[in-house]
Amino acid sequence: MRVEVAPLTPGPLAERVLDLAATGRAGLSALLGDAAQRQALFRPRIRPECFLAATVEGELAGYLSLKLGGRGPFAPGFADFRRCYGWRRGLHAFLVFSAIEARSRALPGGAYVYGIDVLEPFRGRARFPPHGVGGALLLAASAWAAARGLDRLEAEVRAPASAALFRRMGARPMTARPFSLGRLLMATAGDYERLCIPLRG
C-alpha cells in the first residue's frame, strides 16, 4: 500500500486533521487543560496551510505541522485565552504559551517541524515501505521546505521512537556558535533534543 502526502484542501479529511491537531500540546495540559479545553482554545484559530496529511487508500494515516519563522499551526490571541479560561488564568496561560511559542522556531533559513502524528493503525515502517507513514511525512516536509529555498528542517524530539524516525531520515544534532540564538534554543530545550535534517549538501 502506498502512502500519499499532500497539503490540506477543504473537505472532511482536512476537518478531521484539524480536529485531531487542535487537541495537541498535551504536554501543556497542566496549563491548558484536557483535550476538550485545548480544542476549544486552538480550533477556531488553527491554520490549515501549516499542515501536510498522509493517506493510505484515501484513509487518513497521519499528519505533520510546520512552523516558518513565528507562524505556526496555532494562532490563539489573548481574547481566545480569556474566553476559555477567564481573565486571570487566561492571562497567565497566554503569557506562558506565548513564551513557549517564541522559542519553538527554526533559525533563519530553516523550517520547524511543530508536530507529527501517525495514527495507531498505520504505525510501523514494515507495513509501508520504504519509510513508513512518518518517513513519508518528513520527506514531503523536506520537499516543501526546499521548494521555499530553505536549507533544513529543525525539530525538538523527546520520545525515542520520534528521535529514531528523524535519524532514519538523516537528522543530526544541531550545533551552534556560543552566545548565538541557536545555542539559546538548545540550552532551553529541557529534556528535548534539538535535531535538524539538512536539505542541501
DSSP letter string over 4-63?
EEEE--SSHHHHHHHHHHTT--GGGHHHH-SHHHHHHHHGGGB-GGGEEEEEETTEEEEE
Inter-helix orientation angle 160-168/132-147, to 10°: 60
Residue keyed to cell 488553527:
46
**What pTM value is reported for the model?**
0.89
The reported pLDDT for the residue numbered 122 is 94
The reported pLDDT for the residue numbered 51 is 97
Residues ≥6 apart with Cβ < 8 Å to 154:
106, 107, 110, 111, 112, 113, 174, 194, 195, 196, 197
**Of 36, 9, 3, 8, which is closest to residue 22 (Cα–Cα)?**
36
pLDDT along the chain (201 residues), means of 10: 94 96 89 94 96 96 92 94 96 92 85 94 84 95 93 88 89 68 52 85 58
Count of residues in the chain: 201
Homologous superfamily, domain 3-151: Gcn5-related N-acetyltransferase (GNAT) (3.40.630.30)
